[in-house]
Amino acid sequence: MSLDLAFDSAQAAIADALGQFCADRAPDDEVKAQAGRFPAELWRLLAEQGVLALAAPDGEGGAVELLAALEPLGRAVFPGPIFATLFAAQVLPEKQRALVTSGEALVAVADGPLVPWAPVAQLFVELDGDAVHLARPRGPIEPLATLGGEPWGRVALERVRPLGDARRALALHDLALAAYLAAAGQRLVADAAEHARTRKQFGAAIGEFQAVALPLADAYLRLTACETLARAAACRFDGDDRRAAEYAAAARVSASAAAREAAFTAHQVFGAIGITLEGPAFHVSRRIQQLAAQPPGLERGRTALLACYGM
């Protein structure tokens, strides 16, 4: 039996609308300018698009619609605590959920003492295996510098109340992250390929050399496979497949590896300009590296996948 993974007309309209939104509101210069701080105005505008409420218990759409929104956001490397918000929207009570999906409050998701977006968050949720709790800081939050420029913090939390089972929320989080990372990696490969087409050495475009062209082609194929895997996993999620969480974990693990490898390849193609702050690649690659390693980490997904094969 075949599965059509192309977006339908409604889902394509979401992707087109978010693509135009990013082009208008989050061009590269604006995204670069947000490094190291919370992008308050961009975040408010994103919330107005309804993206943060997609697939929430009282929101519209499902996982496939969410991926239709996340793919253009990934290509634009849109900043902000997107994945913490999508996770929290699955587990928070209605009142707090409305605050985070509307952009009025920020939420941080903790799976250890180092917490992304903790210095600017008003709400905290803490993971404990497959369970999740509403929490609050016990003391001051120690700000930490990060590769991606996002504000992280070291903080000890105390639990306020249990919020139930986190497995569905974790699966949706993994799907969203997989779609974003695959799209960000594809954008980086496309930019590197264009550079290879126009940059000349020894009288020829560097893209004519196999040492440049073949790694780019390999990165493109891997990322396209990851996009397909994420969409297939989203269909299983929306269909309440009992193995949906495993497929979501596989999508995230695969996209994280492929996007990081694409970042390495792109930097090799761009050379020195690829590592400058104002260059065409660094703001994309550092976002990829940051998200690929952010908590809740990949170990949970890897463990689940190994268990599927009795390992």
Contacts for 245 with CB less than 8 Å, ≥ 6 apart: 167, 168, 170, 171, 174, 304
Q: Which residue has the higher pLDDT, 259 or 209?
A: 259
Distance between CA atoms of residues 10 and 117, nearest Å: 32
218, part of any domain:
yes
248, part of any domain:
yes
pLDDT at 144 over 70: yes
pLDDT at 62 over 70: yes
29, part of any domain:
no
Q: Is the dihedral of CA 15, 26, 118, 279 positive or negative?
A: positive
Q: What is the pLDDT of residue 241?
A: 85
pLDDT tens, position by position, 153-207: 999 999 999 999 999 999 999 999 999 999 999 999 999 999 999 998 888 888 8
238, part of any domain:
yes
Q: What is the pLDDT of residue 280?
A: 86
Q: Which residue has the higher pLDDT, 109 or 146?
A: 109
pLDDT at 122 over 70: yes
311: confidence class by pLDDT, cuts 50, 70, 90 = low
89, part of any domain:
no
Contacts for 83 with CB less than 8 Å, ≥ 6 apart: 109, 173, 176, 177, 180, 291, 294
31, part of any domain:
no
117, part of any domain:
no
Q: What is the pLDDT of residue 33?
A: 87
The domain total for the chain is 1
Q: Which domain holds residue 173?
A: 168-308
Q: What is the pLDDT of residue 226?
A: 97
Percent of all residues in the chain with a pLDDT value above 70, rounded to a whole number: 96
Residue 245: CATH number of its domain:
1.20.140.10
232, part of any domain:
yes
Mean pLDDT of 72-97: 96
Mean pLDDT of 50-68: 92
68: confidence class by pLDDT, cuts 50, 70, 90 = very high
pLDDT tens, position by position, 210-267: 999 999 999 999 999 999 999 999 999 999 888 888 999 999 999 999 999 999 999 9
pLDDT at 1 over 60: no
Contacts for 146 with CB less than 8 Å, ≥ 6 apart: 152, 290
309: confidence class by pLDDT, cuts 50, 70, 90 = low
Mean pLDDT of 293-299: 81
Mean pLDDT of 278-293: 90
Give the pairing type, strands 107-110 and 200-201: unpaired
3-state secondary structure of 69: helix
